[in-house]
Structure 1
Amino acid sequence: MEELGTTIKQIRQAKGLTQKEVYSGIVSRSFATRLENGDHDVTATKLFEILERLGVSADEFRFIQNDYRPDDGEILRSQVMLAYDQQNFPQLSHLAQRYGQSKNPAERRIATIAAVLLTAYSHRHATLTSDMDHLWQQIMSTKSWTLQEIRMGPILMALMGFKDAAVSETIRKMHQSCDRYVSELTDPFHVMDLRLSFDLVALQVLLSHRDYAQARAFKTELMTGHLEQLTSEGNLTLQLCLCIWTWFFGDSSTADQQASLLRQLKVARIDPGIRAILSSWQQQAKRYHLKLADKK
């Protein structure tokens, strides 16, 4: 990874900007020259001012600094989540085994995430490993979640099947953490999409635990927050949540129509996952209603 000043110089020259245009009013020209030569560092405040002049976000700067590629941990995380979205359990198993004993903590953490998703959703006997327990403790001990923990939300809910923890408290913590990042004007990190991904898993956890009263009340949670900030993928996740909810607590024929429409959508990344979720919960909802009928 290049020196900070070297990357700034690279971006400045690529954009055809002079040192005066980038640094004026922020640092002196002599300081700027030493910075670009790698002989000086700069405070975070001044760095952000410089990036603003360059028209580059902090995330993009890191991407460029890493030779225009995401870091290895991000690449691996993307591979794991793609395999999960596509219900590709053999690939999840491969990633969990390949990186589970890595000396790189970031790789080992992502391997643990793959193992959690594999164990929770591949219908195998669930066993909580020490790495999974460490991941759980690390996230739950954090008083307020930032984006890293928010992105881990669905994985955290998957761990709920192994831990004696209050689902409602975890849902509340997730939603409160998301609220700090989004408003009616903007959602710069697509937090509402992350929240809906979390809520989809949360609803399934509640139903799996047969906590039907809380699952019924959960629709109110689904419909709160700044839904206007959802992307098309976030809206798709919301419709999937509402379809599952309606099978259990609304009109089944309406849910069947919703499911038919969702199955017709062609979303390459998550199409297999949508079909698997719909098929599973449609059958479970039928069994739920049969049990209710037997009790009458």
Structure 2
Amino acid sequence: MSTIGSTLKQIRQAKGFTQKEVYGAIVSRSFASRLESGQHDIAAEKLFAILDRLGVSANEFRFIQNDYQPTATELARSQVMLAYDQQNFPQISHLAAKYAHSENPAEQRIAVVANTLIMAFDHRTMAITPAMETLWQQIALTKTWTLQEIDFGSILIVLTSLKQTPLAATIRKYHLTCDRYVSAAADPFRVMDSRASFDLVALQQLLSEKAYPAAKAFKLQLLAGHTEHLTSDGILNQQLSLWLWESYFGETARAQSLGNALRQMPTPRFHLGIHALLHAWEGRAQQYRRRNISDHR
């Protein structure tokens, strides 16, 4: 991995900036020269100011510093979540076994996440392991969640269910965390997309637990937040959630219209389970409606 200074020099020269343009009023010219030659470190506050001048985020800087490669932990997480989005469970099992023996604690945690995803898919093996218990304790005892917990939205739902903890508290804490990272002006970390994915899983869990009053009230949450920042992925998850809600509690015609629109959409590689989701929950929603009609006669 390159030094901070040499990476700054690499980016500065690639963009055609002079040292004065990048470092002026932040550090002296002599300090800048020594920094770029690897003779000095720099305080985080000044580094961030320099990165702003260069137009590079901290994450991108780290990526470039690592020779345009993700860190080992980022790669592990990306591999697991891609396999999950593609419903490639043999690959998830392989990755779980691979990272379980890593010396990196962060990669070991990814292995726990992978095993949790497998368990969530195969309901016959729904029993929390010691590693999952440790992960849950780490998450539960963290007063303020960060982007890592936002990214692990589906895992939070699974662990909450396994621990038989009220789902409402997890949903509320997750939404409050999202609110800290997004505003009307910007959503720099695509938090609203993550929230839409989380809400889809949360609604399915509420329905699976037969918490119908909470599920019915959940529509307000599906439409809350700064939804203007949703990308196509986020909009797709939101539409799936709205279809599911309408199928249970709304107008049948509206549910059918949403369902038909979703079936006609080209299925992206990250949403291979859309048609399976529609098929599975359509039958359950019909049973729920028939039972409610029967109960009210």
Place the TM-score, normalised by the shorter chain, in its bin. Answer: over 0.9
What corresponds to 1:104 in structure 2? 104
Q: What are the within-5 Å matches in structure 2 for residues 189-228 of structure 1?
A: 189-228=189-228
Residue 79 of structure 2 aligns with which residue? 79
Q: What amino acid is the match of 1:137?
A: Q
Indicate if the aligned counterparts of 2:112 and 2:131 stay in contact, CA closer than 8 A: yes
Alignment-derived partner of residue 242 in structure 1: 242
Which ranges in structure 1 are unaligned for 5 or more consecutive residues? none
- SS of 2:59's equivalent? helix
The residue matched to 1:124 in structure 2 has which SS?
A: helix
Corresponding position of 1:95: 95
Tell me by how many angstroms 1:267 deviates: 3.5
8 Å CA contact retained: 2:161, 2:167: no
> What letter matches 2:9 in structure 1?
K
| TM-score, normalization by structure 2 | 0.95
Corresponding residue of 1:170: 170
Number of residue pairs matched? 296
Cα deviation for residue 97 of structure 1 reads 2.1
Calculate the aligned-residue CA RMSD, in Å.
1.5
Q: Does 1:44 align with 2:44?
A: yes
| 1:61-72 matched pairs, under 5 angstroms | 61-72=61-72
Q: Which amino acid aligns with 1:115?
A: N
**Residue in 1 that maps onto 2:56:** 56
In structure 1, how many angstroms separate the alpha carbons of the residues matched to 2:123 and 2:266? 26
Of 146-155 and 216-225, deviating more is 146-155
Deviations 1:128-179 (A, max 9, x none): 1111111111112111111111111221012222112121111111111111
Q: Is the 8 A contact 2:267 2:274 kept in 1?
A: no
Q: Could you report, residue by residue, the CA deviation over 1:83-136 in whole angstroms, capped at 9, with x for unpaired residues?
A: 222222222222222222222212211111111111012333212111111111
Q: Distance in 2 between matches of 1:117 and 1:252?
A: 32
Q: For 1:61-88, what per-residue CA distance to the aligned partner results, in whole angstroms no more than 9, with x for missing partners?
A: 0110010111121122112111222222
CA deviations on 1:246-275 (whole Å, 9 max, x unpaired) are 111112343233122112212422331212
Distance 1:266 1:76 in 2: 28
Separation in 2, partners of 1:57, 1:108: 27
Note the 1:178-193 alignment, pairs <5 A.
Answer: 178-193=178-193
Q: Would you say the 8 A contact 1:73–1:106 is kept in 2? A: yes
User: Which one is further off, 219-228 or 246-255?
Assistant: 246-255
Q: Which runs of 5+ in 2 are unaligned?
A: none
Sort the Cα spacing of 1:69 and 1:111 in 2 relative to 1 into closer, same or farther, 3 A: same
CA distance in 2, matches of 1:271, 1:126: 24
Aligned amino acid, residue 82 of structure 1: L
The reply to whether residue 118 of structure 1 matches residue 118 of structure 2 is: yes
Match of 2:261 in 1: 261
- Asked whether the 8 Å contact 2:193–2:233 carries over to 1, the reply is yes
